[in-house]
Amino acid sequence: MTERVIGRRLRRHSLLDLSDDPVGVVRAMCGAHAQVMSAAELSIGLRTNLTRQQVRDALWVDRTLVKTRGPRGTVHLLPTADLPMWTGALAGLPQRSVLLTGEQRAEVVAAIADALRDAELTGDELTEAVVERTGPWAGDRVMDAFGGTPWPRWVEAMGAASNLGAMCFAPNKGRKVAYTSPQRWLPGFTPAADGAVELLRSYLRSYGPATQAHFAKWLAAPKRWVNELFERADLEQVDGGWVVRGDVSWPDEPPGGVRLLPYFDAYVVGSHPREEVFPGRAFERALSGGQAGNFPVVLVDGVVAGVWHQKRSGRRIVVTVELFGTLSKARLAELDRQVARVGEFLEGRPELTIGTVTVGGHA
């Protein structure tokens, strides 16, 4: 992978020039991973000049962003206007059920869509609504729940319901997660017939050049399905993989700058080859079994050159940065500015410490 590929990805991810458009930034990232919501907000904040409240307003007030399931079935923030593309792509992926038959899954998805059409329901409330519309079998607590009380059977269909656009997240009700229908702020939308092709092209614009294996890993899609998709898209092959046909512009300047990225940031999760994005010691220290995103990372010239961690106490935010090499005075000044931006976005008083990060990776 050449410097120009890294430079292109950095620019397209708004990691060189900050933006004032949260929707455009999230679109360019192909979604902001939101399993850890604060990390998703910071991913956007470090690419923009926006406040944390402005990012939250885009999601919960303006509804220009939506919190739902995206690539790999994980929770993401996506542009609301792009839901036809996303649902068209994700709904086309092969479905696998252990606890539900195909007919039961379709029945649950229909029940979810009906229950959430004009409502915001917690998980318990949605269970009642689904059972009322389907039958007691949907409420059987038979689904493993990470060591806790088993979830009801219908929960296995949540991924399918999200992929089909029947449900998304609503603002929490107190401490409880709530759900609603994305149709409430994008009325009448339907999955796009060519959504998978559109999504592949979007991915390649952000992460290309990339191979079929890279895209399959990012989306958690079967190899055969991906290979057929690449054949249908209008692409061209270049050194390192595939790009959208005609999208062969490369920056003249080499990649530069120091950046802090939070847990599960899209840039590191979606970028390959891993050994070049995580060179040297970074491959062992900043990955978890080859998986990117489990550690917040320090980027230097677009590649991982350290890990970091923040610990908050009141307004005080202690930012510990573990570097895998030495930085010049100019680079250390850039690091200081990044730490200041973290503090500004999180509305706290940051303090930078250079030392060993003792906190393990996020599960």
**pLDDT tier for residue 215 given thresholds of 50, 70 and 90:** very high
Sheet of 168-173: strand order equals 121-122, 176-180, 168-173
Which three-class secondary structure state does DSSP give residue 26? Answer: helix
Q: Are residues 104 and 208 in the same domain?
A: no
Which three-class secondary structure state does DSSP give residue 49? Answer: coil
On whether residue 21 sits in a domain, the answer given is yes
Q: Are residues 211 and 95 in the same domain?
A: no
Q: Are residues 54 and 145 in the same domain?
A: yes
Out of 151, 184, 217, pick the residue that ends a domain.
184
On whether residue 191 sits in a domain, the answer given is no
**Range of 53's domain?**
3-184
On whether residue 94 sits in a domain, the answer given is yes
Q: Are residues 163 and 76 in the same domain?
A: yes
Any idea which of 138-147, 170-179, 343-352 has the lowest mean pLDDT? Answer: 138-147
Q: Are residues 81 and 154 in the same domain?
A: yes
**Pairing verdict, β 141-143 and 151-152:** antiparallel
**pLDDT tier for residue 152 given thresholds of 50, 70 and 90:** very high
Taking only the tens place, the pLDDT of each residue in 85-107 is: 999 999 999 888 899 999 999 99
Tokens of 344: 């500004």
Taking only the tens place, the pLDDT of each residue in 155-212 is: 999 999 999 999 999 999 999 999 999 999 899 999 999 999 999 999 999 999 999 9
Q: Are residues 12 and 54 in the same domain?
A: yes
On whether residue 363 sits in a domain, the answer given is no
Please state the rounded mean pLDDT for residues 323-343.
Answer: 97
**Residue 157: which region, alpha, beta or left (left: phi > 0; alpha: psi -120 to 50)?**
alpha
**pLDDT tier for residue 363 given thresholds of 50, 70 and 90:** low
Out of 184, 206, 225, pick the residue that ends a domain.
184
Taking only the tens place, the pLDDT of each residue in 30-40 is: 999 999 999 99
Q: Does the pLDDT at position 314 exceed 60? A: yes
Q: Are residues 170 and 225 in the same domain?
A: no
Q: Does the pLDDT at position 250 exceed 90? A: no
Q: How many domains does the chain have?
A: 3
CA distances from 220 to 87, 91, 340, 351 (A): 15, 13, 36, 38
On whether residue 359 sits in a domain, the answer given is no
On whether residue 189 sits in a domain, the answer given is no
What whole-number distance in Å separates Cα of residue 116 and Cα of residue 166? 8
pLDDT given at position 119: 97
pLDDT given at position 346: 96
On whether residue 350 sits in a domain, the answer given is yes
DSSP string, 108-146: HHHHHHHHHTT--EEHHHHHHHHHHHH-GGGG-EEE--T
Q: Are residues 39 and 174 in the same domain?
A: yes
Q: Does the pLDDT at position 257 exceed 60? A: yes
> What is the percentage of the chain residues whose pLDDT exceeds 70?
99
pLDDT given at position 290: 83
Q: Does the pLDDT at position 1 exceed 60? A: no
Q: Does the pLDDT at position 252 exceed 90? A: no
Q: Are residues 75 and 223 in the same domain?
A: no
Q: Are residues 79 and 179 in the same domain?
A: yes
Q: Are residues 13 and 118 in the same domain?
A: yes
Mean pLDDT for the chain overall: 95
Q: Are residues 138 and 39 in the same domain?
A: yes
